[in-house]
Structures are given as C-alpha cells and as structure tokens.
Structure 1
Amino acid sequence: MSKERVLTLIRHAKSGWDDPSLSDFDRPLNERGERDAPEMARRLAARGEYPDHFIASSARRARETALVLAQGTGFPEADIRFERSLYLADTQRLLSTIRNLPDRAREVWLVGHNPDLTDLANLLAGPHTDNLPTCAVFRMAFDAGSWRDVREGSGRLLVHDTPKKPWQAT
C-alpha cells in the first residue's frame, strides 16, 4: 500500500464587500465567486480528484465555497469539518492542523484564506507562487506514512489550477 498523502489547498472563492454592516467573517460569495466555485469543482471532478477528508474555515465565504465543491464532486456535505480556527490562521496553525489529520485520510482538501494558504503552499512544496488567487487549487503529494511526517519542503506539486489560468498537465 502506498504511503503517499495528498493535500489540496483551496482558497475560498471571490467574496463580496457590498454590505458594510457584515463582519469580514460573514462576507458571502459574490457573483464571480458563485461562478468560479462550480467551475473549479467541475475541473477537480474531471481530473478524478476527490477527498476522503475535507476541512474548511467556518467563515461564510469559505463555507459556501466548500459546499459548492462538495456538491460538484459528490462529497457528502455533512462530512465537511468546518473549523473556526482556520479563519485568520497563520502558517504554523495550518501546519499543526495538517499534522493532526487522521492517518486513515489519504487525500485531504482544505479550504481557507490568504495570505496563509499561499505561505503554506510555498513552505511545503517550495516557492511556486506569489499569490493563490481566489478559488485557486494547489494540490501536492507527500511521501509520508503519517500526516505528522509532513515537513517544510517535503511536498511535490501535482496541480496548481486557478479560475483564470487552468492547469496544463506537462
């Protein structure tokens, strides 16, 4: 049995700033976000990418993105684990979350926020991007028997897909 683990970081889709009475945590997806999230779900499904464990920030825009991704890929919405601690999480908090994932999980999706996801992607898989735009997918593999073994620079980039710049397999 392969001991490879796959982590897919997904930045929430584009959110709106139209209602100044809403807190940052409560901002919903805007029209572009509502268009991009289903498109990225379609691309994930077309590449045969499905999680067996799915966690997301509980901020509204991340929650809405995760639900759209689940609907578009057939992942049970009730099985998404929403975590408040992923909102405004720094890189070390995200890394701690990853290292505490259950070892039965081989493929994990994490929906969160910038700049933390960009920093985490670069920390784990080397410098690949200056910015993960909204609804970007950054998928990487680790040769690790346990999530506890995930270390800086140990990730191998598999896919870096964005709504405006689709991934081209080489």
Structure 2
Amino acid sequence: MAQLDLDRTDYRILREIQANGRISMVELSRRVNLTKTPCAERVKRLEKEGVIKGYFAALEPAAVDAGHIVIVQVQLSSTTAADLDEFNSAVRQVPEIQSCMMMAGGFDYSLKVRTRDIASYRELLGNVISRLPHVLQTHTYVVMEVVKDEVVLSMPDRP
C-alpha cells in the first residue's frame, strides 16, 4: 500500500474510531470538530483507500474456547516464490492461526495460534500445521501469560 497523505484531522478520526469502532458519526464529528457530512466523507475515503480495513468486536478468548496460545516457528523445505505463496494461501485457511509473519533469521515464519487447550493444539499441529505446504520443521513455544497484546496502533501526531 502506498503512503497516503493523511492530515491531522484524518489522524484524529483514526484515533477515535480505533478507540471505539461503534462511535456514531454525530459523536465522531463532534470529537474531531467537523460537521457530520465532511466527517462521513473522510471516513468513507479512509475505508476506500484501505486505511480503515474493517471493524470488529474485541472478544474474551477464553469465553470462546481460544484461551490457549502458542507461538510456532516454522521452517520450510523450500522458499521459492511459488512455495511461499502456496504456504501463505494455506495458512490463511486455518482459523486457529491468528497471525503469520515471515521472518528473517533461523526460521521462515512465526505463527500465533489460539486453541482451547494443549490437547486441541496438539491435534492441530499433527493434522494441520505440520501438513501445510513445504513445512520441514516446527518449534512450539507455549505462552504462559499474556502481558500485552494490543491491536490498537500507535500513531504519531501529524501536522
């Protein structure tokens, strides 16, 4: 995505929406000191340009049987462009994989995986993760405590 020319008002809108995705347009307009129509137009532009990618509810993971977290380091047997694309496409189909990041260093990917418990993870590892395209080896690290897990992005003040 190309760098967009966002102004101070855009950043104020983004901060408010990030803090409360259900904020009404009337309240958002008031908080960013715009009238409703220009504010709504800015929000639509930010959505169209892909700056605002969507809206969601923050859920309590344990309440929906997703309280167990592991980090999985994945090493692939091959890292050609086609093989990476195949792995990436397959990972996107696994709902328990909350994030997948390509890494530089001693392994190729880091996965954040959420399941109900260790037994559920063990089944997922054996039946799904280890069978993803081109997986050569995995290393699993069980998360004992989540100290910080933000989805809110820090944004600099802009002119």
- Normalised to the residue count of structure 1, the TM-score between the two structures is 0.22
- Normalised to the residue count of structure 2, the TM-score between the two structures is 0.23
Structure ID, larger Rg: 2
Q: Which has the higher contact order (CA 8 A, sep 6+)?
A: 1
